[in-house]
Structure 1
Amino acid sequence: MINESDTGLLTTSLPEPYYEVNFFERRQNWTMDAHHHPYYQFIFMLEGILLLTINEEVYPLKRGQLCIIPPLHVHSLKSVTGYYQFGINLQPEKDRKGLVSLLEAYIHDFTVIEHNEALDHMPAIKQGCMELTKLSKIRTSNRIDEFIASAVEKAIHGTGLDFKNHLLTYLNKSLSRKITLSEVARELTISPSHLERLVNKEFGCGVIELFNHLRINKARSLLINSSYSIETISEHLGFYDTSHFSHFFKQKINMNPTQYRKLKNWTK
């Protein structure tokens, strides 16, 4: 889809499955209304910030982040700052390489990936898109194949150390208040459904259950290792009142906070 405000490079001459490959620069206050495509679309951020809205959630995308938008996923785009992208639109039908089939097997939801190492390959890909000789088409297509394959690999194994650290750091910082799945998904720039799958794969439970597990662990630590009152601990962990805290704690530990503190102090 070409907009009159697009400036940059567009090629439709690469081998399958590349329907369009582009390097577009969008001006300040650029927008594109809600729309969808019959194909997989990749937007890799090279400069600026893009606000992508999908499923009523806004994802701010910045340099080094790649988003993958599956077919028929309605989304809109906006940039206050302006931005520069490397974009790929694949053909809708399956290709002989198997890239479309690979995506259909593993990428079902809107996905955002930290793909900073791919920034180093952009000059060579752009140069290849400008030359378009028989040799450069093959080399450029191969480079983009690797770009996509490595992105899918990251999406499949998205529970790397950075992901886990980011998730656990954010949850631990939020123990004093209530959180939602959508909020955590926005923080990690990932769709809620994909986040739930990754967290279940890594921790064996959903995001909110993991958060509640961290709250209980913090409550247990404070009950054993501090002289804080039950009321103070309740407030510190964002509960409405001590009654709510006690009920929550007993559901998880099978005893109320007072009983737990007495038992642990007795067994020290």
Structure 2
Amino acid sequence: MDINDAVFVYQMKNRNELRWHGRTHSHNDREFEIHYFLGGDGEFINGKTSYTISPGALFVSTPHTVHTIHAHAQDPVTYYAILVRLDNDEETLSLMLSQQEKHSPFHIGTNYRFFFEEVKEKGLSSSLHRRQSACHQMCSLLYLLEEGAEGLGNDNESRHLERALRIMQKNVMGTLTLGELSNELHLTESYFIRLFSRRMRQTPMKYYMKLKIEAASALLTCTELSVKEIAAKLGFSSEFHFSKQFKLKTGMAPTYYRRNYLQMLGSDTLEKQ
């Protein structure tokens, strides 16, 4: 198994974002996609069947199965999507996933945010060992679902990190200090930093900034808000601070990022005409 792609979509609600993530599409031979919904109002259409999205629902889509998400902006959808590709000799796993598509959705609850975030981070890593670790984690969950289990058991450390991710994701549009986060978790700052850094390979506040930059990217490409308005919306102290952090993380200034995206979008539109 290889992880070809992994994404986290936080409360998609802008028109362009809804259009992109709601596009009707399918995947190639031996490619399976796992969707894990954390919340929101809408429908997941897999093949010829439409399902109401419910928090904690997990779906499997098999190769060439056309699927799409119809999300409502009033209660935006948050989800993880993991695209895996199986090797030719993994026929048993391929047959199991094909059967699991028929039994979807699996209701595993909303406490697997950290599990999927860790799979995403590892699966997109440049380290072969970390990517293999992510694949083993996904396989473990899928086999447990096959046995009728409701998911993986969480240890104390994972529960702390699950809550931390939930708090940070909830506060993307705003401000959150390390002290506030540690207090809410009832952990000392030093212990929380060590725990988070060991499991996520980055400090909590670097991850929190990464979430903000990801949200900023969506706002730049899917809205007409000015850079100053986006900076304020995301809780940055100034437009300068926001621009500096954005360029540090993406390599581009916010205005250039928006202009470059719109040029690419325009070229893509012309190619399809």
Q: Do Structure 1 and Structure 2 share a fold, with TM-score over 0.5?
A: no
With structure 2 as the length reference, what TM-score do the two structures score?
0.42
Higher helix share: 2
With structure 1 as the length reference, what TM-score do the two structures score?
0.43
Higher strand share: 1
